[in-house]
Structure 1
Amino acid sequence: MAQGWILSILIVSMVISYAAADPPDPPSKPECHIPCDDSCGVDIHCSWNHRFDPQILTNYSLHWETAHSIEDRVNTGTSLSGFIDREHFSMNSELHVWVQAESKHGSAKSQVVVFDTGDLTKPPPPLITRSYEDPLEISWSSICNEPHLSLGSCDVRFRTQAEKLWHEDEIGAQVTYEFSGPVQAGVVYEFQVRCSCATGLISDWSATHRIRSSEAAPTGQIDVWKDCGVPATNADCVVTWKKLPTSQAHGQILGYEVTLFSKHTTNVLVNISVAEPRGLLMCDELKCYLKSSLKSVSSASVSAYNARGATVPSYLAIPTPGKVRSEHSIDVRMNTENLTVSWALPSQLPDTKSFKEYVVQYKQAGRLLGKGFNWIRVNKSCTTVTFKGHFERYRPYQVSLFTVTHDQQSHHFSSVIGYSCHGIPAKVRSFKVISIAATHATLFWEPVLLTMQNGLILYYEIGVHGQMAVYNVSASPQDENKTFELLNVSADQEYEVWIKAVTEAGPGDNVTISFITNQQQHLQLKLKSHLLSLLILLCLPVIICCLLVLLSFHRGTSKTCLCINEKIPDPYNSTIYQMMAYQVNEPVAWICIPIYEPHPTMSTLEVVEIQHQLCEQNCFFEDQTRPAASLEGCTRKHRYGKGEYSKMVDSEEEKDMSEVTGRDDCWSLSEEEQDTSGYEQHFIPTAAEILNA
């Protein structure tokens, strides 16, 4: 392996040495002339070009040979120009000239150029002295006009200020030129001239002379749109427009008229001079915008004017902003120089009569209004657009597509965030636990700010320290808060959870939080507490009855009867009371047991003290061990099953009661009785209902 590396190094060294040993490239052919300013000089000046290695010192020498085979030279060092003294040549004679380059690796010779020394005079560039706008015309002077010389031929070249290429015209021996092509109104034209004398070389081009043609009223319409922040609200939007091209401006644009139409039919007309924008108009090389909020503005119009007139106003309807939702997908491909947007035609196009075009725009998130923003209008059959420009690395650009009608009503088609280059994202914000249970917890976090994401976040990674499992949570939509349910955790345990954002460039830094899960018994105690409260409420009527009966046992010496109205039920007949007999040992059943244990209680809604005679007229005694004769004057009725209030009194309990009070207690019954089923269903819940609760 080591031998292979050594061999490779040797080969590379040999290649480098061989390349370095090559002689220099030959210089270009020399260009020579005798300069004439106020008067012609006597020496021949020559210059040349050469491609050389700046790391290698290269020297040059200028060589010439006369017709008599006399060769001479002059060393110029590292300079790419030199001159031949007058004493080394004769006028109107043949002269051979070449250049030699020398370095430590060798020498190289240029091609030989043959000159007639009488034809080497070169006049200075002409000077354009006058110009006219209508028609376009220029005049100039040249040294060849001097008496001791004669003018040879002149060339003129021209272009508009917006063009890059020149249009050249050879006009002969004259010092004026009138533009014969179609003239664009209000456009700046650039002219240059060069001339030669009767003998000698032609001069260099003159300095550029500019003429603005006569102005006319501007034509066409301004391309109006709106520039909004990300996300967009009308309070953050401004009306923006592109400057007219010179072919439509037809002169210098002096200002703009902007009308804002309010939803409340209050129109505002703003006339802004370009010379005095008053802080309302902001312009760059391509576009302008009005620094005024579009809040409560329904539409706007803009027109440009010059000294000869104004354009037809261009209107823009301003829809009410809402949450940006993408109805269709668009594809965005970006690098630092190009942004290409493509989309598929929707299956259902808008009304073809009103649908006019698409507008594709991009906006760099976080940039001020009027900055990092551009748009283009394309035909409705187009599905691809490419923007040229400088797109910053790691910065988000919101690319949006709109459909536009003939009356400039726009409808949002789709939006997507694009990046020219993806980087490592920043940390997430506000990572915390919003609810904790024994076996799960709910996590919450705010997404990374759009301007700090450094790339499109693909997903969020969530993990628990000490565990292998890692959860991936979708980052879509990018601007909404996120929650995640962390399951499979144990009760009463401390956990440390981390989260990080992930882009194409990789994951960002972790954000970590700690929490302790709840104990399992807390949940059981909470359920028991709710059940206990429910049972207390259900048994409350029985408790009240127990207390009322206890009060009746301590009423003094007068005979006390509990007279039951015909519409007030006896709880001893209730199913719930019977069920209670089997629930004494249950954890919560003791609540419904009479507190005064020696005397079982009976529920009642009313306690009435009556005279002994009244009581004996319409009641029965509870003690069934007495003779039948003692029941004279009392009516006794029994209904079992369907009986409304069948007697359910323990005889031993009645006997004990009599011994305590020394008197006979009796119960008053109504003459009319009702079915027990209505009471059971309406007043007291069944045992099954209590269990279900």
Structure 2
Amino acid sequence: MAILRKRWILSILLLYLLTDCFAAAGPPARPLRPECCMPCNEKSCSVNIHCTWDQGPDPHIPTTYILHWEPTDSAEEEQPTSSNSSSRVIDREHFYYHEELRVWVEAKNQHGSVHSEENVFNISDIIKPPPPAITLRQLEPLEIEWRSICSDLHYSMGNCDVRNRIETNNVWPKHEGGFLHTYTIDSPLPGTVYEFQVRCACSIGLMSNWSTIHRIRSAEKAPLGELNIWTYCGSSPASFDCALSWKKLPLSHARGVIVGYEVRLYYNNGTATLVNVSTAEPRGQLFCSDVQCHLPASLKDVSSVCVSAFNARGATVPSHLIMPTPAKNENEHALDLKMNEENLTVSWDQPLSHTLNEYVVQYKQVGCPPGQGFDWVKVDSSQETVFFKGNFKKYTPYQVSLFSLSHDKNVRHLSSVIGYSLEGTPSSVPLFKVSSIAATQVTLFWECVPLSMQNGQIQYYQLGTDEQNVYNVSASSQCENGTFELKHLHPGQEYKVWIRAVTGAGSGANTTARFSTRKQHDHYVYVIPTLLASFVLVIICILILLRCFRAKTCQHVASCLCEKVPDPGNSQIFRHMKLQINDPLAWICLPMYEQHPTISVLEVVKNQINLKKTSDVDEITWTAARDGCSYKDCQDKQIQDAVTKERDRTDHRCEREEYSKMVDSDEEGDREEDKDDCSSSSNKEQFTSGYEKHFMPTALELQNV
């Protein structure tokens, strides 16, 4: 295919060269009819005839041009003159006694010759005066005048042609004729530079050449209207860290030379800043092109702006703009782009809102400095299509955005889309790696191709391990990183995976990564530490439970697991509570609903109790002196030992639990007493019930009370 294309190109080139050679091998191109005159200056006219002609296309071989002339009243041809240029002079001595001449040009080369058309003229009719000189007569209305030298040549004045244009125009409009020596513009644009040219003829002879350009600036007036201002927000409208731009006033509105701009910035905190920039000395504060100006200052935290232009006579009405805000349903207006290197057409659907006043459509070249590659247009709310004309670069992203402008000047960003005048294949993915590996699957991670290197709209990414197993992953509209789970792999095997981006022009270069899947038994590496951790946790729990059973403050743990049994030593509750507070592990064994146990109030009844007060007190005092403890501590110790012995004796005698339910004194109802007693009770204890043995205080306890 490539060989056929080369042969086709060579054939066209050969045909072009052969055609050019055949054209050059023939006679020269026919020149145009010669134009002849007798030019004049400010004092006199030339006595010789000057003739010029157009040679036509540039000949490729040497060509000689011969000027022929002959009198119309004689068949005898005068001596021709030859020249290699496009002009020739006929001297006076060759025609002084003739009134009319016939003139033509002959072009000759080694392959032949050709003649131009003839020009027949009267010698007195080819006098050509010099261009007139223009001067300003008055400024309002704008009027000019000129002077011709026809009277100096002893000829009367003829008609003159005038043409004018604004300085910025490149083409002269059609001229006006019939004027004698003045010309007036009744309604010139204020402060506008006009250019004038005049040519005149005498009563006989030819029209002079156009005069040199004469420039006049009309009187200035205060500018009209207001500026078309807008914001440049970089590549991401969501950031809204924008800069300010505006379009220059047309000449019809500027009405003079705009010498500066006044910019007021209103911030969200209620403050305002005034910035005056001069067009003569911007000092880095202002950058202007042919059609727009850009203020590089950041508009961060700015709520609104006002801009006006001024000249020597006044200023425009301030143009107000509220900073754009994102719409609630952004991208609800789908933009349709038709873009090539010369034109951009943007269309969208009409909204249902009736508060809309205008649409603003903008485009900006991604990555371009602020103020460059950027333009916008404001259209009426009834329109749904906008056309831009410009030079759009190939393979370059342009962000096209749609905004709405309400009647109260609020601006909302509606939608944005990236467009290309011509798409190309994208660059390779900058980063591609494996983020996690298992036995039969891996997770792949990649960074998106930067917008400046995409060369087109990326439609999707292709991933694969070979040419048969290829997966397509859709690309988001925003440049976001991607992940993909590659499944159904073989354990313990090495793989090579690749990724590439795809645009409308094709796919880019591959970016590869290598990895090896884990072997099947690799999961035990994670199971064994888990089992060890669980085993250690179980051991800790067992130790805590043993500590609870062994602790003095946790003697009621059995009540947590078995049937709740009251403590026979009611008077020992305070001591137990004290030990529980001091023991940090005691809270584990306490029931949640018995954090603050209610102490029963026992009624003391003075029954027939034979206490040996004196001997008991003496015994307690002797014990305290022997052990080195206080009287109360020893007394408490003896009481506890007596209760413990009584409990052990009773339990051993009965070989079963002799407990009944005890109801605190602050609860309602009566206490029920367990009437089941041991059958082997002695006669010595026949007047004492089981309840009294286990729940009633001893004599020492009553004495302490």
TM-score range, shorter chain: 0.7 to 0.9
> 517-526 vs 260-269, which deviates more?
517-526
Q: Partner residue of 1:489? A: 489
> 444-453 vs 21-30, which deviates more?
21-30
Question: Are the structure 2 counterparts of residues 129 and 516 from structure 1 closer, same or farther at C-alpha, using a change threshold of 3 Å?
Answer: same
Tell me if the contact between 1:234 and 1:294 (Cα under 8 Å) persists in the aligned partners: no
Q: SS of the residue aligned with 1:63?
A: strand
Q: Partner residue of 2:443? A: 442
- 2:121 corresponds to 1:129: no
**How far apart in 2 are the matches of 1:547 and 1:253?**
94
**How far apart in 2 are the matches of 1:208 and 1:12?**
44
When normalised by structure 2's length, the TM-score is 0.73
**Which aligned pairs between 1:344-383 and structure 2 lie closer than 5 A?**
344-346=349-351, 348=352, 350-351=353-354, 354-383=355-384
Shift of 1:540: 5.9
Question: Are the structure 2 counterparts of residues 50 and 206 from structure 1 closer, same or farther at C-alpha, using a change threshold of 3 Å?
Answer: same
**How far apart in 1 are the matches of 2:486 and 2:275?**
58
Question: Are the structure 2 counterparts of residues 375 and 564 from structure 1 closer, same or farther at C-alpha, using a change threshold of 3 Å?
Answer: closer
Q: SS of the residue aligned with 2:205?
A: coil
Shift of 1:476: 1.9
> 85-94 vs 149-158, which deviates more?
85-94
Tell me if the contact between 1:234 and 1:320 (Cα under 8 Å) persists in the aligned partners: no
**Which aligned pairs between 1:469-484 and structure 2 lie closer than 5 A?**
469-484=469-484
Instruction: For residues 394-427 of structure 1, give each alpha carbon's deviation from its aligned partner in whole angstroms, at most 9, with x where no partner exists.
Output: 2211111111123322222221111222233222
**How far apart in 1 are the matches of 2:269 and 2:479?**
33
**Which aligned pairs between 1:317-356 and structure 2 lie closer than 5 A?**
317-320=322-325, 325-346=330-351, 348=352, 350-351=353-354, 354-356=355-357
- 2:88 corresponds to 1:82: yes
2:30 corresponds to which of 22, 26, 33: 26
**How far apart in 1 are the matches of 2:519 and 2:327?**
46
- Partner AA of 1:453 in structure 2: Q
Q: Partner residue of 1:201? A: 206
Q: Partner residue of 1:665? A: none
Corresponding residue pairs, total: 573
Q: SS of the residue aligned with 1:618?
A: helix
**How far apart in 2 are the matches of 1:457 and 1:74?**
74
**How far apart in 2 are the matches of 1:548 and 1:270?**
80
Q: Partner residue of 1:401? A: 402
**How far apart in 2 are the matches of 1:16 and 1:333?**
40
Q: Partner residue of 1:667? A: none
- 2:221 corresponds to 1:216: yes
**How far apart in 1 are the matches of 2:99 and 2:153?**
25
Question: Are the structure 2 counterparts of residues 240 and 60 from structure 1 closer, same or farther at C-alpha, using a change threshold of 3 Å?
Answer: same
- Partner AA of 2:494 in structure 1: E
- Partner AA of 1:208 in structure 2: I
**How far apart in 2 are the matches of 1:399 and 1:470?**
33
Shift of 1:149: 3.5
**How far apart in 2 are the matches of 1:155 and 1:271?**
46
Q: SS of the residue aligned with 1:143?
A: coil
**How far apart in 1 are the matches of 2:495 and 2:558?**
66
Q: Partner residue of 1:166? A: 173
Question: Are the structure 2 counterparts of residues 285 and 323 from structure 1 closer, same or farther at C-alpha, using a change threshold of 3 Å?
Answer: farther
Tell me if the contact between 1:156 and 1:194 (Cα under 8 Å) persists in the aligned partners: yes
Q: Partner residue of 2:573? A: none
**How far apart in 1 are the matches of 2:496 and 2:81?**
81
Q: SS of the residue aligned with 2:559?
A: coil
Q: Partner residue of 2:76? A: 70
**How far apart in 2 are the matches of 1:286 and 1:322?**
30
Q: Which runs of 5+ in 2 are unaligned?
A: 564-588, 591-640, 659-693, 695-705
Shift of 1:106: 3.0
Q: Partner residue of 2:500? A: 500
Shift of 1:454: 2.2
Q: Which has the larger radius of gyration?
A: 2
- 2:151 corresponds to 1:145: yes
Tell me if the contact between 2:348 and 2:384 (Cα under 8 Å) persists in the aligned partners: yes
Instruction: For residues 506-550 of structure 1, give each alpha carbon's deviation from its aligned partner in whole angstroms, at most 9, with x where no partner exists.
Output: 32222222222233322244245435644664576567778999x
Question: Are the structure 2 counterparts of residues 379 and 18 from structure 1 closer, same or farther at C-alpha, using a change threshold of 3 Å?
Answer: same
Q: Partner residue of 1:569? A: 561
**How far apart in 1 are the matches of 2:256 and 2:17?**
65
Instruction: For residues 186-242 of structure 1, give each alpha carbon's deviation from its aligned partner in whole angstroms, at most 9, with x where no partner exists.
Output: 222221110112211000111111222222111111101011211246674211111
Tell me if the contact between 2:24 and 2:59 (Cα under 8 Å) persists in the aligned partners: no
Q: SS of the residue aligned with 2:258?
A: coil
Q: Partner residue of 1:428? A: 429
Higher normalized helix content (fraction of residues): 2
1:230 corresponds to which of 232, 235, 238: 235
Question: Are the structure 2 counterparts of residues 61 and 306 from structure 1 closer, same or farther at C-alpha, using a change threshold of 3 Å?
Answer: same
RMSD of aligned C-alpha atoms?
Answer: 3.6
Q: SS of the residue aligned with 2:150?
A: helix
Instruction: For residues 113-161 of structure 1, give each alpha carbon's deviation from its aligned partner in whole angstroms, at most 9, with x where no partner exists.
Output: 1111111111121111334211211122222231534322212122333
Q: SS of the residue aligned with 1:402?
A: strand
Q: Partner residue of 2:254? A: 249
Shift of 1:262: 0.9
**Which aligned pairs between 1:271-290 and structure 2 lie closer than 5 A?**
271-290=276-295
- Partner AA of 1:157 in structure 2: R
> 229-238 vs 294-303, which deviates more?
229-238
Question: Are the structure 2 counterparts of residues 234 and 110 from structure 1 closer, same or farther at C-alpha, using a change threshold of 3 Å?
Answer: same
Q: Which runs of 5+ in 1 are unaligned?
A: 553-561, 572-604, 620-631, 638-670, 672-693
**How far apart in 2 are the matches of 1:515 and 1:324?**
43
Q: Partner residue of 1:99? A: 105
